[in-house]
């Protein structure tokens, strides 16, 4: 019997970074690598961008629907950012935890703060830093055909996001995607080996002791 066979409680992982630090790629690769993870899909009132799919990138809702859901306490956390609502549904997260599944949140510092307050010990938070701001700027340029003003705007948002690094449990500098992915996997593996998350341990040790 391996520890990995124990009844386990799922783990909630918040992954934050400024735009351009590699979070989207890391999220995708983490999900490919760890079938036990599901991605938490947020609800938003903003309009879908080209290529975004309902239920894959977001659940797109009207402002009225969002506000009703908010009143019905459907959200673990929600925030209003630049006039649009964003929220994390409560029900799928609770169900995943009880089934021993893990949930990944691709979320900003505000969402992470609220989730950490609400979910306590179930939650771990990881912040991804770029190796340098020059690198970040280049990635934002390469990625888009934006006007310089938009890049500057994104850079200033990046600084705002980075300013919250110290609120996270783990902080990683993403210089190399493979190395960073393996660091994240090591963090998750270690967190799952914590005594407090291995619900089946007590029964296992009782079984050990009965032998004698």
Residue number, 5 or 145, with CB nearest to a copy of itself: 5
> In this chain, which of 57, 74, 161, 169 binds a copy of itself, going by CB under 8 A?
169
Distance CA 192, CA 189 (A): 5
> In this chain, which of 63, 68, 143, 194 binds a copy of itself, going by CB under 8 A?
194
Residue number, 97 or 151, with CB nearest to a copy of itself: 151
Please report whether residue 60 would count as binding a copy of itself according to CB under 8 A.
no
Beta bridge partners of 4: none
Distance CA 20, CA 195 (A): 36
Please report whether residue 2 would count as binding a copy of itself according to CB under 8 A.
yes
**Number of other residues whose CB lies within 10 A of the CB of residue 98:** 10
CB of 105 to a copy of itself, least distance (A): 18
Tell me the three state secondary structure of residue 168.
coil
Distance CA 157, CA 161 (A): 6
> In this chain, which of 171, 177, 199, 203 binds a copy of itself, going by CB under 8 A?
171
Q: What's phi and psi for 77, nearest 5 deg?
A: -155, 150
Q: Which two tokens stand for residue 188?
A: 């998750």
Please report whether residue 33 would count as binding a copy of itself according to CB under 8 A.
no
Distance CA 140, CA 73 (A): 37
Q: Which residues bind a copy of itself (CB under 8 A)?
A: 1-3, 127, 129-134, 155-156, 159, 162-163, 165-166, 168-173, 175-176, 179, 183, 185-187, 189-191, 193-195, 198, 201-202, 204-205, 208-209, 211-212
């Amino acid at each position: 019997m391996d520890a990995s066979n124990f009844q386990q409680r799922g783990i909630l992982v918040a992954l934050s970074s400024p735009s351009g630090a590699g979070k989207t790629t890391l999220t995708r690769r983490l999900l490919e690598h760890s079938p036990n993870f599901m991605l938490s899909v947020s609800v938003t009132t903003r309009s879908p961008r080209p290529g975004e799919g309902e239920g894959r990138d977001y659940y797109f809702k009207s402002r009225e629907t969002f506000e009703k859901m908010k009143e019905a306490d459907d959200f673990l956390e929600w925030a209003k950012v630049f006039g649009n609502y964003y929220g994390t549904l409560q029900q799928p997260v609770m169900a995943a935890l009880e089934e021993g599944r893990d949930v990944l949140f691709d979320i900003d510092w505000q969402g992470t703060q609220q989730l950490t307050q609400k979910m306590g010990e179930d939650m771990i938070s990881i912040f991804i830093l770029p190796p340098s701001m020059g690198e970040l700027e280049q990635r934002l340029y390469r990625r888009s055909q934006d006007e310089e003003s938009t890049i500057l705007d994104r850079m200033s948002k990046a600084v705002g996001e980075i300013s919250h690094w110290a609120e996270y449990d783990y902080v990683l500098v993403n210089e190399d995607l493979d190395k960073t992915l393996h660091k994240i996997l090591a963090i998750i593996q270690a967190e799952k080996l914590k005594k407090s998350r291995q619900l089946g341990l007590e029964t296992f040790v009782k079984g050990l002791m009965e032998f004698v």
